Amino acid sequence: MITPVILSGGSGTRLWPLSREMQPKQLLALNGERTMLQETALRLVGFMQGRGPTIVVCNCEHRFMAAEQLRSVEVSDALIVLEPVGRNTAPALTLAALAASRTETEDPILLVMPADHVVTDRDAFQSAVASGLPAATSGAIVTFGIVPVRPETGYGYIRTGVRRDDGALKLVAFVEKPNLDRAAEYVASGEYLWNSGLFMMRASIWLKALKALNPSMYDACAGAYNSATVDVDFLRIESSSFVACPSDSIDYAVMEKLASQNALGIEGVVIPMSAGWSDVGAWDALWDVMEKDASGNAHFGETIAEGCEGSLLYGGGRLVAGVGLKGVVVVETPDAVLVADKSRAQDVKKVVTRLKAEGRTLADSHRKIYRPWGWYDSIDFGDRFQVKRIVVNPGAKLSLQMHHHRAEHWIVVKGTAEVTNGEQVFLLSENESTYIPLGHVHRLANPGKVPLEIIEVQSGSYLGEDDIVRFEDNYGRGPN
């Protein structure tokens, strides 16, 4: 049985301003209707082999968005494992392997997939997975190497060796990102594949390899997992043990050592894959996988290109018009606009570094903030006031709370609101409103079958989100 393991801990800083720390690229629909997490979760749909429940390892701050996105594409059996801090892919996989081995008789084959990759040919992907199953079943650790379509300096490479009886290629070495001349040599030789970050192995084989090759990482992960707690629908990993865990990738922690030594009797093997794969690491990579017009321009949203060539115009809500652009990226969001030379797309992360150094929230979050009950959009603000558009999902409710420094006016735009205001509980319909005085305990809920939309006007001396004292919460959040 195959258990899909989705690693969803990346930050995607090179895709700013669309990707933010609180809503990274894997939780975004970059080039379609589904988010990258959703596309990854659906990648084995129709696969003929048996599948176990999906395991998703993600940042605890992203848990509600991840759960809602999976629910909306009918992935209802997922186990979401929450990392208290990011420690790279090897510890994340170890937590998933421990979770998959819940009994002594369970030893599923794990298919490890980063949540932030694009695969345009699902059939070819599934065919490659099927090709790797015999090797994984027999105890090898399988990695999937992408057949290169050009010399590429942005990816690491895998050097392959002879073909085994089960059809897999021997793993000879992992190679760091080369310069252009060396990349051309790799491609011409036919011995090298792009390193995809996709893996497949039995859970017990991964744990055995890690315990032997990186015992401190294994011990930290096992200790943190064994002290994990169930939090609503999530498995929350114990923090102090996991914080002490070494941070390393699957490649460095295990795979490179398997390629250079084989004292464990565990082999690393490679399956070539041609499935329209991209890690979409930066805007030029997204341009690469998007459909283009006759002049090589990629478009998203409402855009106009006049005399442009080889450019990306990405609109978030307003019209984006480009005139005479050549090899330029333009990305618009409600609170930021990026204009960049496509050949320097990797440098966008330097902008994020500067924003963080200056203490600006534009690196961390969008104007539109998702919550387990829905979302809100801060549409205007000034000295002592803020205006929010709030949407509450059917059947959902905010926490029972109060504020020390602000009062609120609520106006119902759509749906029906159940309002707790001090000792009173009452319903509000469209075009009705209420006032929440400073210091009053209050709650907003949606008892209906359609989304509730309200406009909230806040006024007071301090309007930060940390001025919330929670008395009751359906989602396990703390007092603040």
Q: Facing residues of 235 across strands?
A: 81, 230
Handedness of CA 65, 70, 76, 79 (dihedral sign): negative
206 and 273 fall within a common domain: yes
Round to whole Å and give the CA distance between 75 and 40. 11
Tell me the two tokens of residue 65: 């968005």
Name the domain count of the chain: 3
Round to whole Å and give the CA distance between 268 and 254. 9
CATH number of the domain bearing residue 154: 3.90.550.10
Tell me the two tokens of residue 19: 């990707």
273 and 288 fall within a common domain: no
Does the structure show a pLDDT above 70 at 379? yes
pLDDT tens, position by position, 212-261:
999 999 999 999 999 999 987 899 999 999 999 999 999 999 998 887 65
406 and 448 fall within a common domain: yes
In a domain, 147, yes or no: yes
In a domain, 171, yes or no: yes
Q: Which residues contact 15 (CB under 8 A, 6 or more apart)?
A: 25, 30, 280, 281, 282, 283, 286, 348
Tell me the two tokens of residue 156: 């690491």
What is the enclosing helix (H) or strand (E) of 438? none
Q: Which segment of 12-16, 97-101, 262-266, 358-362 scores lowest on mean pLDDT? A: 262-266
Q: Alpha carbon of 4 to those of 90, 278, 314: distances in Å?
A: 16, 19, 32
pLDDT level of residue 468 (50, 70, 90 thresholds): very high
Round to whole Å and give the CA distance between 333 and 349. 17
In a domain, 363, yes or no: no
When pLDDT is averaged across residues 392-404 and rounded to a whole number, the result is 96
Choose among 462, 332, 455: nearest CA to 385.
462
Q: Alpha carbon of 30 to those of 21, 180, 282: distances in Å?
A: 16, 28, 12
Does the structure show a pLDDT above 70 at 103? no
327 and 393 fall within a common domain: no
Range of the domain at 449: 368-472
406 and 461 fall within a common domain: yes
Q: Alpha carbon of 260 to those of 37, 160, 170, 215, 331: distances in Å?
A: 34, 13, 12, 18, 44
Choose among 295, 90, 278, 76: nearest CA to 199.
90
Residue 58 near residue 9 (C-beta atoms within 8 A): yes
Domain boundary among 328, 357, 386: 357
pLDDT level of residue 10 (50, 70, 90 thresholds): confident
Round to whole Å and give the CA distance between 476 and 470. 11
In a domain, 362, yes or no: no
In a domain, 348, yes or no: yes
What is the enclosing helix (H) or strand (E) of 462? none
pLDDT of residue 104: 62
Q: Which residues contact 300 (CB under 8 A, 6 or more apart)?
A: 30, 31, 290, 312, 313, 314, 315
When pLDDT is averaged across residues 375-404 and rounded to a whole number, the result is 96
270 and 289 fall within a common domain: no
Round to whole Å and give the CA distance between 38 and 122. 14
Does the structure show a pLDDT above 80 at 36? yes
Q: What is the mean pLDDT of the chain?
A: 93
Q: Which amino acid, 92?
A: A
Query: How many C-beta atoms surround the C-beta of residue 16 within 10 A?
Result: 24
174 and 43 fall within a common domain: yes
41 and 183 fall within a common domain: yes
When pLDDT is averaged across residues 15-32 and rounded to a whole number, the result is 93
Round to whole Å and give the CA distance between 434 and 166. 69
Round to whole Å and give the CA distance between 29 and 41. 14
pLDDT of residue 124: 97
Q: Which residues contact 394 (CB under 8 A, 6 or more apart)?
A: 446, 448, 449, 450, 451, 452
410 and 448 fall within a common domain: yes
DSSP string, 150-193: S--SSS-EEEEEEEPTTSPEEEEEEEPPP-HHHHHHHHHHT-EE
Query: How many C-beta atoms surround the C-beta of residue 326 within 10 A?
Result: 15
Domain boundary among 232, 256, 278: 278
When pLDDT is averaged across residues 422-427 and rounded to a whole number, the result is 96
When pLDDT is averaged across residues 416-437 and rounded to a whole number, the result is 97
Ranges of H-type helices in 231-335: 239-243, 250, 256-260, 283-289
Q: Alpha carbon of 368 to those of 16, 17, 417: distances in Å?
A: 15, 13, 21
Ranges of H-type helices in 116-202: 122-137, 180-189
pLDDT of residue 5: 97
339 and 392 fall within a common domain: no
More confident residue, 264 or 261: 264
Does the structure show a pLDDT above 70 at 268? yes
DSSP string, 62-121: GHHHHHHHHHHTT--S-EEEEESS---HHHHHHHHHHHH--STT--PEEEEEETT-EES-
pLDDT of residue 317: 85
Helices 89-100 and 203-213 meet at what angle, rounded to 10?
Answer: 130
In a domain, 477, yes or no: no
Bridge-based pairing state of the strands 312-314 and 298-300: parallel
Find the radius of gyration of the CA atoms of the chain: 25
147 and 23 fall within a common domain: yes
Tell me the two tokens of residue 384: 């002592």
Round to whole Å and give the CA distance between 441 and 95. 40
pLDDT of residue 480: 58
Does the structure show a pLDDT above 90 at 431? yes
Tell me the two tokens of residue 350: 């330097």
37 and 76 fall within a common domain: yes
pLDDT of residue 32: 84
When pLDDT is averaged across residues 338-362 and rounded to a whole number, the result is 95
In a domain, 479, yes or no: no
In a domain, 466, yes or no: yes
Q: Which residues contact 114 (CB under 8 A, 6 or more apart)?
A: 6, 7, 8, 10, 26, 40, 89, 197, 198, 279
When pLDDT is averaged across residues 318-344 and rounded to a whole number, the result is 97
Q: Which amino acid, 21?
A: E
Does the structure show a pLDDT above 90 at 423? yes
Chain centre to alpha carbon of residue 430: 36
Domain boundary among 278, 297, 322: 278
pLDDT of residue 15: 96
Round to whole Å and give the CA distance between 44 and 367. 34
CATH number of the domain bearing residue 448: 2.60.120.10
Does the structure show a pLDDT above 80 at 182? yes
pLDDT of residue 180: 94
